[in-house]
Structure 1
Amino acid sequence: MSYKVQQGVFFTLLVTCFLSVFYLAQSSNIDKAIAKTEQSISLRVAIDLRRLAIADPLLNYAGNEAQLNTYITALNNELTKQGSRLTVNNISATKNTSSEGKQLRLSGPYKDYYITVSADRQLAFSTFIFPLVLALLLFFAYRWFDRKSYVAAKRAQKSAATAPEFQLVVDLFNKVVTSNHDKSRQVQLANKPLCFYLALVEFCEHHPEVVLNQNKDMPEELIELANKYFYRLIELGHTIRKRPNFTNSLEKTLSEIRAALDEVLAPFPEQKVRYYPPKAHGEGSRSKLHSYGLNNVKKSDIEIIGK
């Protein structure tokens, strides 16, 4: 179903719903008003009954038809002034089942009398203008919000399509780790974990098949890469101390790396699998059987400033 057809169906249902609710509400109000007027008419006729010359065939009484018609005309004029939907057609001493309209019975001490009334329950077309206008206003409001949401979604889609691919950013000048999607979130990292992480990324890209276990000796190439980055820090004037032993306190070094990445990648949790050195699972010797290598990240995934 096309978008225009969906809008047409929605508008049709909206108008139908509003008109139905309005019609039922108005009909209910009309029925209540008619019932109340019927009670008023019955009470008025009951009060005036003794002075009305109503024909009674059973008693061979012809009554006074002219007087009765004048009374009924005056009663209808009063009902019209009140805006009533009821019209009194006749007042008789006998029940006439063939007459059009509804017959109201007046119970007297000796006999019953019947008031024949007709009701106008039709709704004028003008009364439907308000629900139609309201339905139109709601429909255009819905279209406006729907269009606004559609445009916002398109902009977000376009922005996502043109946005640069996520990269971790390591600034060697300031020794901070950040990302190209949120450069306001920066974390300072010490020399040893900073150099080791960059070396780990480069080593794992060139040797994806090597399993790095903490219970085995660290590959010499990995140590050399870490020293290379440390010497670069010296060139940048960050330190004049002796280069650290990257094979010592490996778990502490990895923990510092993970803590920094936790903070930088907090708004981007889906990137942790990519950049995060895997943690060990289990206890005792089993905790040293896992690999802390980075199998999902490449050097192109990290922008190194000051290399």
Structure 2
Amino acid sequence: MSKIKLRPKSPVRLVATLTFLLISLQIASIIGQYLAHQFSIHRAIDVVERRISLDSAFLDVGNETLNTPANRYAIERYLERLEKVLEEKNLPVVVSEIQGVRTKSDLTEFPRLHRTTFENAEQTISISINSRNPLNEVGISWLSIILALLISPLFAFTSKKRRAQSAREEIVLPPKPRLVINLQEKTISNGIDDKVVTLQNKPLCFYTALVKYCIDNPNESLPPHKDVPHELMALANKCFGRLIELGHTKRKRPDFNANLDKTLSEIRAALDDVFTGYIDEKETYYPPRAQGEGSRSKQHSYALPSIKEDDIEIIGN
């Protein structure tokens, strides 16, 4: 079982980590305190409005219909009693005015003003409610400082094992072999080393067409006991025409249906040479051999089902 050795980080990184944690946790704490205070103000205003609404039936706030004024003395006494109730409930608001009658209390600690009105059976009642400044309710959170001091040691050490693993991940992987068909040189190669194999016209054209056909038809079966599909034959003839354009031959086009076993054997032999040392990668490009029942088995197919366009490169196409 391998041991993980811990190594301390540099002091600068430790200080930076601690500072980042302190600032982040403190900001989160301040935002939480501010939102909590705002919520408490809204809740307190709802409580005050509900309380005054219930008491308004017994409070002489005047009557607009009868044109009678508010009883200032009664309202001032009510404001005093209401202020004591709010203090007992520790609510961050105070009622500063009801129906134009102001409280005699000092409102220095309650600078923010909220005005509201509601209607009872007789008239509309206006209320002014003052609340504490939310900025005065937020401050340094000692809990966030303690958490930062407790968490920062977790980032104080790094393991050699993790460093070694990161170094391994940064190592560039060797290039993956891929089939390179060069119609200009009539060769195939793996795109990595200098190993190049020259193919005759017929197997070169048929294999180039086979690769293209299998990319376009990944689920198609190609049993050797049946004739070559028309699309595959057309691709092979087109490739042969390209060899004529490149000046490699002037002979007439061969019959790609004839001697199919021999053509596939030549292709496999060339791939064995090109992909020496790359057995797993070769399977992608290798036309499968018949297993058990001979090359004419009805279950056999020489198609390349796993080949994709990114797996090949055709030069001079």
Higher helix proportion: 1
* Larger RCO of the pair (alpha carbons < 8 Å, separation 6+): 2
TM-score when normalising by structure 1 = 0.48
TM-score by length of 2: 0.47
